C-alpha cells in the first residue's frame, strides 16, 4: 500500500510563481481548444462570421495576456513586500550609520591629504583613476578605492566627479 509521507512539507515548498505559471499554461491551452472549436463552427462558408470569430479570438487572447501580466506583477509585488516586511527596521539604520562613518573617515583623510589631492586633481573634479591614486597615496588598509566609490554613490553624485571641498561641506 502506498502512503504519502511528508506530503505537507512538499506542498509548503511549492513556489507561488510556479503555481501561477502552471495555471496560466492551463488557461492558454483551454483558450486554444476553445479557439479551435470556434473556428470549426465558423467554417461553414460564411467569411463575415470567420472574420468576427478571428477578431473575437484575438480579443480573448489579448485580454488573457494582459490579465496574466497583471497577475505576475501583483505576485512579484506581494513577494517583494513580504521580503521587505521580514527585514528588521534596525537594518537600514545600521547601513546608514556605517556608511556615514565611512564618509567621515574619507573626509578626514581628504582634509589631511588635501595638498596632495589638490595637486593631483583635474580642474573638473576627481575621476575614477584619481580615486585609485588617492587610495594608493593614503595607504589606509581600512578604506579601499571601492569604499570611496561607494561613498560617492551614497552622496548621490552619479557622475563620479566631485570637488573635495564641496564633498566635505556635505558632511
**How does pLDDT run along the chain (171 residues), one tens digit per residue?**
445 555 554 455 678 888 999 999 999 999 999 999 988 888 777 888 889 999 999 999 999 999 999 888 888 777 766 655 555 555 555 555 555 555 556 556 555 555 554 554 444 444 444 455 555 544 455 555 555 555 555 443 333 334 444 444 443
Q: Cell triple for residue 87?
A: 527585514
C-alpha distance from residue 8 to each of 11, 12, 14, 19, 56 (Å): 5, 6, 10, 16, 43
Q: Tell me, yes or no, whether 54 lies in a domain.
A: yes
**Whether 145 and 127 share a structural domain:** yes
**Whether 105 and 158 share a structural domain:** yes
Q: Tell me, yes or no, whether 139 lies in a domain.
A: yes
**Whether 79 and 107 share a structural domain:** no
Which uninterrupted H or E stretch holds 155?
none
The model's pTM is 0.44
Q: Tell me, yes or no, whether 122 lies in a domain.
A: yes
Q: Tell me, yes or no, whether 4 lies in a domain.
A: no
The torsion angles phi and psi of 162, rounded to 5 degrees, stand at: -155, 160
**Whether 67 and 105 share a structural domain:** no
Which uninterrupted H or E stretch holds 121?
none
What range defines the domain where residue 125 resides? 90-170
Residue of 57, 17, 61, 20 lying closest to 37 (CA atoms): 57
Q: Tell me, yes or no, whether 39 lies in a domain.
A: yes
**Total domains in the fold of the chain:** 2
Amino acid at each position: 500500500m502506498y502512503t504519502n509521507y511528508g506530503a505537507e512539507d512538499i506542498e509548503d515548498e511549492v513556489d507561488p510563481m510556479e503555481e501561477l505559471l502552471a495555471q496560466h499554461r492551463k488557461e492558454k491551452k483551454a483558450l486554444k481548444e476553445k479557439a479551435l472549436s470556434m473556428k470549426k463552427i465558423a467554417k461553414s462558408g460564411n467569411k463575415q462570421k470567420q472574420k468576427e470569430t478571428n477578431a473575437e479570438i484575438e480579443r480573448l487572447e489579448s485580454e488573457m495576456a494582459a490579465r496574466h501580466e497583471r497577475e505576475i506583477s501583483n505576485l512579484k509585488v506581494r513577494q517583494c513586500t513580504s521580503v521587505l516586511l521580514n527585514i528588521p527596521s534596525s537594518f537600514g539604520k545600521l547601513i546608514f550609520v556605517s556608511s556615514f562613518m565611512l564618509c567621515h573617515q574619507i573626509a578626514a583623510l581628504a582634509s589631511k591629504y588635501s595638498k596632495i589631492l589638490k595637486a593631483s586633481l583635474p580642474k573638473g573634479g576627481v575621476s575614477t583613476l584619481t580615486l585609485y591614486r588617492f587610495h594608493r597615496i593614503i595607504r589606509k588598509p581600512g578604506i579601499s578605492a571601492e569604499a570611496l566609490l561607494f561613498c560617492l554613490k551614497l552622496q548621490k553624485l552619479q557622475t563620479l566627479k566631485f570637488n573635495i571641498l564641496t564633498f566635505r561641506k556635505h558632511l
